[in-house]
C-alpha cells in the first residue's frame, strides 16, 4: 500500500506521501483506491469520481473545477483540473468564534532588550544604502569593518538595493519607508546610512522618518562629500559597535515578533510544514506575542477563512480592501488573478492557486485576526496581523522584517538558499529535501508524518527559541542576507 493522506472526509482527492505506481492501493477501508497511473509524491489522486465541471475538494474546500470526468484512482493535476478564480469579489462577514489557543507555559529566549522596550534576536550593525549607486560601497565597508569590531556585536551586514533615485511619489515613499523601518529595527544595535549625495532618497528625508529616540545609534555618510568613504565608514561602524555592545537577557515568548512565509512550496507544504508553523503562530499569539502573515496574492481562494477570523467589521473591511486592491493590481496590468502557482509548485504537485492558498494560509494558525497593515507599516499590537505585500520571497520577507519581525519561519518544499535581514528559519515540508540540502534547511517538518504534529511542534519551538537566542540559521552561516523593495511606480 502506498502512503497517502485525505485531509477531510469530504475531499475528492488524497495526497501521496511517497511515489506510487499504477496498481498500488492508497488508503484503506471504504476509502481504498487503486491507482490508475504512476503518481509522484505530493501529487493528488481522485478517491471518488468527479463529474466534468464539478468542484474538486481538498482541505474540505474547492481547489478548482474538473475539466473532464475524473474517475477514482486517476492522477489529478493540470491536465484535468483548472482554477475557478476570476476577479474581485463582494465578501460577506461571517465571523467565527476565535479558536481557543493553547494554555501552555510561556518559554523564554535570550534576547536584546532595547531602550524603547522592543527586543531583538540579534545585536548587529546594519549598513543601509540610500541608493543603488553606493550599494557596492556599503558592501565594501561592511566587509572591511567586520574584521575591526571583533566580538562587540553579532555581525556587520550591508543591505543594498537598486532604488532610491529616478523614483517619484508613492514609489519613492515606499523605498524610504522600508529603509526607515529597517533602520529602526531592534536587531540592529547600530545603523550606518550610506548615501551618494545627489539621489532622490536624501539622507535628511530618510532620517526624518526614523524616530528621534533612535538617532543616537545611527551614523550617516555622504560619499560625494567624503575624501575616503571606506575609511570613514569603517570608523563610524567601529564607533557604533562600541556603543551597541550589550548582553542578552532572558525574556518571554511574548516579546518575540514572528513573521511567517512560504516559498517553493510543494504538495506536502499544506500537510506538514505550513500547519506546523500555524501551531507556532498560535503559541506566540497565545503567549501575547506578535505574528505577521503576508503574501496577499497567495491567499486568493482562501481569503474568506481569514476574513471570518477578523476581530470586528472594521478589520474585516480592511482585509477585503487589501485583497480586492491586490486583485485589481493584477487586472489593471492585464494579468489574471490566478497566475500562480509557479512551475516549481506545479512540479511539486500543486495545481491551482486555490490549492496553494488553502495550504499557505495555514501558517497563520487559528488565532483571531487583530490587525491589517499596509506595505511599509510596522506591526502595532499583539496577536495576528495581516501585512500587505506580494508573494515574491525577497520582497515579502523584507516587508516582514521592516514591519518588525525578529524571526521569520520560512517553509519550503523545493528549497531555497535565500536569507533576509532577520534570522530566517528554513522549514522543509519533506524529509528528502532536508536530507539533500542540510546547508539550506534548519528543520525537517516531514517528521510530522512519523512523529505527529504535537511532538514535531515541540521540537520546532525548541529550535526557534535556540535561534532567537543566538544560534545561527543555515542562511546566516552561508552569509545569505538580502533585501528587496517592492517597486510600484515609473522609473525616470
Looking at the DSSP assignment, which residues form a beta bridge with residue 219? 192
Sequential DSSP letters for 296-341: GGGSTTTHHHHHTTBSSHHHHHHHHHHHHHHHHHHHHTT--TT--S
**Distance of CA 417 to CAs 136, 430, 439, Å?**
21, 16, 8
Q: How far apart are CA 277 and CA 272, in angstroms?
A: 9
Query: What pLDDT sits at residue 78?
Result: 96
CB 467 within 8 A of CB 422: no
Q: How far apart are CA 308 and CA 96, in angstroms?
A: 6
Query: What pLDDT sits at residue 89?
Result: 85
| Helix 135-149 × helix 229-244 angle, to 10° | 50
Query: What pLDDT sits at residue 492?
Result: 87
Query: What pLDDT sits at residue 65?
Result: 96
Which stretches of the chain drop beneath a pLDDT of 50? none
Q: CB under 8 Å to 278, separation ≥6 — which residues?
A: 362, 363, 364, 365, 366
Q: How far apart are CA 418 and CA 402, in angstroms?
A: 17
Q: How do residues 109-155 score in pLDDT, each as one tens digit?
A: 999 999 999 999 999 999 999 999 999 999 999 999 999 999 999 99
Kindly state the helix (H) or strand (E) to which residue 33 belongs, with its residue range: strand 33-34
List the one residue out of 11, 98, 104, 107 whose CA is nearest residue 61.
11
Residue owning grid cell 531602550 = 115
Q: How far apart are CA 225 and CA 235, in angstroms?
A: 16
Query: What pLDDT sits at residue 105?
Result: 83
**Residue 200 CB coordination number (10 Å):** 18
Q: What are phi and psi of 255, to 5 degrees?
A: -95, 5
Q: With the CA atoms of 72, 350, 475 and 249 taken in that order, what torsion angle do they form, in degrees rounded to the nearest 10?
A: -80
Query: What pLDDT sits at residue 98?
Result: 73
Q: How far apart are CA 141 and CA 441, in angstroms?
A: 30
Query: What pLDDT sits at residue 103?
Result: 76
Query: What pLDDT sits at residue 120?
Result: 98
Q: How far apart are CA 75 and CA 268, in angstroms?
A: 16
| Longest CA–CA separation in the chain, Å | 79
Query: What pLDDT sits at residue 191?
Result: 98
Kindly state the helix (H) or strand (E) to which residue 34 belongs, with its residue range: strand 33-34
Q: How far apart are CA 300 and CA 282, in angstroms?
A: 22
List the one residue out of 492, 294, 247 whose CA is nearest residue 394.
294
Q: How do residues 311-360 score in pLDDT, each as one tens digit?
A: 999 999 999 999 999 999 999 989 999 888 899 999 999 999 999 999 99
Query: What pLDDT sits at residue 87?
Result: 84
Amino acid at each position: 500500500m502506498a502512503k497517502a493522506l485525505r485531509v477531510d472526509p469530504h475531499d475528492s482527492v488524497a495526497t501521496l506521501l511517497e511515489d506510487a505506481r499504477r496498481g498500488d492501493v492508497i488508503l484503506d477501508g471504504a476509502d481504498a483506491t487503486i491507482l490508475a497511473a504512476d503518481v509522484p509524491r505530493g501529487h493528488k489522486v481522485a478517491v471518488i469520481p468527479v463529474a466534468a465541471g464539478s468542484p474538486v475538494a481538498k482541505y474540505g474546500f474547492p481547489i478548482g473545477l474538473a475539466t473532464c470526468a475524473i474517475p477514482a484512482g486517476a492522477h489529478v493535476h493540470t491536465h484535468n483540473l483548472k482554477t475557478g478564480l476570476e476577479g474581485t469579489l463582494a465578501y460577506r462577514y461571517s465571523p467565527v468564534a476565535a479558536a481557543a489557543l493553547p494554555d501552555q507555559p510561556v518559554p523564554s529566549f535570550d534576547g536584546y532588550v532595547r531602550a524603547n522596550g522592543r527586543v531583538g534576536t540579534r545585536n548587529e550593525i546594519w549598513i543601509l544604502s540610500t541608493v543603488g549607486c553606493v550599494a557596492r560601497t556599503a558592501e565594501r565597508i561592511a566587509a572591511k569593518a567586520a574584521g575591526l569590531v571583533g566580538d562587540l556585536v553579532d555581525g556587520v551586514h550591508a543591505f543594498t538595493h537598486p532604488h532610491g533615485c529616478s523614483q517619484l511619489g508613492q514609489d519613492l515613499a515606499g523605498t524610504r519607508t522600508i529603509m526607515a523601518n529597517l533602520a529602526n529595527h531592534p536587531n540592529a544595535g547600530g545603523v550606518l546610512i550610506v548615501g551618494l549625495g545627489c539621489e532622490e532618497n536624501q539622507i535628511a528625508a530618510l532620517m526624518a522618518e526614523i524616530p528621534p529616540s533612535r538617532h543616537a545609534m545611527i551614523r550617516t555618510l555622504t560619499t560625494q562629500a567624503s575624501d575616503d568613504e571606506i575609511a570613514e565608514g569603517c570608523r563610524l561602524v567601529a564607533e557604533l559597535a562600541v556603543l551597541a555592545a550589550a548582553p542578552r537577557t532572558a525574556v518571554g515568548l511574548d516579546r518575540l515578533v514572528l513573521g511567517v512565509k512560504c516559498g517553493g512550496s510543494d504538495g506536502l507544504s499544506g500537510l506538514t510544514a505550513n500547519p506546523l508553523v500555524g501551531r507556532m503562530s498560535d503559541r506566540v499569539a497565545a503567549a501575547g506575542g506578535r505574528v505577521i502573515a503576508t503574501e496577499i496574492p497567495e491567499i486568493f481562494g482562501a481569503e474568506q477563512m481569514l476574513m471570518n477570523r477578523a476581530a470586528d467589521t472594521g478589520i474585516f473591511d480592511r482585509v477585503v480592501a487589501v485583497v480586492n486592491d491586490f486583485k485589481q493590481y493584477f487586472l489593471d496590468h492585464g494579468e489574471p488573478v490566478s497566475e500562480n502557482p509557479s512551475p516549481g509548485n506545479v512540479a511539486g504537485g500543486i495545481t491551482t492557486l486555490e490549492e496553494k492558498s488553502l495550504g499557505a494560509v495555514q501558517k497563520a494558525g487559528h488565532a483571531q485576526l487583530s490587525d491589517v497593515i499596509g506595505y511599509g507599516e510596522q506591526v502595532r499590537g499583539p496577536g495576528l496581523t495581516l501585512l500587505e505585500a506580494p508573494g515574491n520571497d525577497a520582497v515579502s520577507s523584507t516587508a516582514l522584517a521592516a514591519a518588525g519581525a525578529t524571526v521569520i519561519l520560512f517553509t519550503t518544499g523545493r528549497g531555497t538558499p535565500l536569507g533576509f535581514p532577520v534570522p530566517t528559519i528554513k522549514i522543509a515540508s519533506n524529509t528528502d529535501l532536508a536530507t539533500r540540502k542540510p546547508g539550506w534547511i534548519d528543520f525537517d517538518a516531514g517528521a510530522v508524518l512519523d512523529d505527529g504534529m504535537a511532538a514535531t511542534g515541540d521540537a520546532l519551538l525548541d529550535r526557534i527559541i535556540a535561534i532567537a537566542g543566538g544560534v545561527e540559521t543555515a542562511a546566516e552561516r552561508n552569509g545569505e542576507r538580502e533585501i528587496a523593495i517592492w517597486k510600484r511606480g515609473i522609473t525616470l
